[in-house]
Structure 1
């Protein structure tokens, strides 16, 4: 395990091919400071450049995944300091979203404001029945600044996203499941097990194929059909000249499990 002050990560899973990033500032409901954001960036970059095949982001505090930016730290900031800090926070959100591996957020308790935006910058969401989601920035005189307005509509539709961001309401795990935000809603005591099983299913597949699938889905989502067709074939062709593609065919013919090496 590699441990830092507010964030730690460890390898988990049957072949230690999965990274679990643990938000670990329970005394503040994992509200992130500049220091914590820098730690998240450093860890995500390290994992992205490793042989890890799937990533979980979890919390050491079952009552809160992340409550957003630490407003106590921001309370006396000048406008320039606030803007400079937000550039750091933007880098944190972008670094999570741009990891080459699929990233699954594992949510119990509160995921609010920037904490919810951490979730939205992940690829998949597993939540417990105690999960609470919301973007309450409008109640504080501001708006989401880490992808909330851009990403939420892709998950739950434009009309519902406008309701969520303009009312600032907090929604339950059941409500989030009903509008299609989640991949899985599970019993709170079982979410780590459920998320790990999902990550294991991803990790056993050819990593280059998985990574190109992630890039393809992300980039094709908002493109016109003709441009999307061309880009999809580009990603497809990246998978053809690989050892894993040949191994996948051999394993199918030989009726055995494939052994993918990421080449």
Structure 2
């Protein structure tokens, strides 16, 4: 990142690293700062709590906002080769086997709280940017889709593979995809369960900015600098977007309740597939950390 000398490490969280400009104009949030062999770069409950806690800590009340002051939040990853591999499939499998609807819905609700907050610009004065330098799958792609802008490096794997174990991505994928592509294309991406390259999703219009490997952070900083030169325009665009293309909280929660009920109806074959994927993720995270 070119302006690393301008950034300061802020409050410490167990699973995320945050670097911020001293004036608070931009924050870079790196998921999976606790990456280690066997630690899956997915939305474990602790990391989900840390992400929500940090976003809430930088959200300003309307009375605290300065006229014409635009801020930025960059969502990135500290895990080697992975942006985020999605929901905690190990937890899902456990809760489904226990038929624990309350805990499964509670997890899903926290995910919805996060993506809705990102999509609405933390109240309206923040532009959110996803920096994808490694694989973004399932819920990992969903958090990126919730952001205003997706910047991805070439050759990165991205997709929504939940259909492989009889499920669908229920934390915003359909709603956010339909703002970027047609509903027919959104359904195809979801129901085919294919893994795409970032290059392919750029051509489809899902990825906004595609850059060569190693140039993602510089591209994000250039984007931030450009937007800071016209802050009133981008603040107005936030407001206009939330009026013209809203993704409402009730819509997101309604879909995630369908997801919960679908998950609870899965049979043993689907759950065993989830558990195999968990083991593969653990093996892969160990290999990449090594």
Which aligned runs of 4 or more in structure 1 are off by greater than 4 angstroms? none
Which structure carries more relative contact order (alpha carbon 8 Å, separation 6+)? 2
> Which residue is 2:6 aligned to?
none
Q: Does 1:94 align with 2:116?
A: yes
Matching residue within 28, 32, 38 for 2:43: 32
Structure whose alpha-carbon radius of gyration is higher: 1
Q: Does 1:20 align with 2:28?
A: yes
Find the aligned partners of 1:138 and 1:203 in 2 and give their Cα distance. Answer: 40
TM-score by length of 1: 0.77
1:105-148 CA-to-partner distances (Å, cap 9, x unmatched) read 00022111111000010000100013211111111222111110
Matching residue within 138, 157, 173 for 2:182: 157
1:28-74 CA-to-partner distances (Å, cap 9, x unmatched) read 45201222111111111222327771121111124110001121233
Indicate conservation of the 8 Å contact 1:29/1:61, yes or no. Answer: no
1:177-224 CA-to-partner distances (Å, cap 9, x unmatched) read 111112211012000001111012222333x5532321212321379x
Q: Does 1:5 align with 2:27?
A: no
Find the aligned partners of 1:140 and 1:34 in 2 and give their Cα distance. Answer: 21
Indicate conservation of the 8 Å contact 2:24/2:71, yes or no. Answer: no
Gaps of 5+ in 1: 224-263
Indicate conservation of the 8 Å contact 2:70/2:234, yes or no. Answer: no
SS at match of 1:43: helix
Gaps of 5+ in 2: 1-8, 248-290
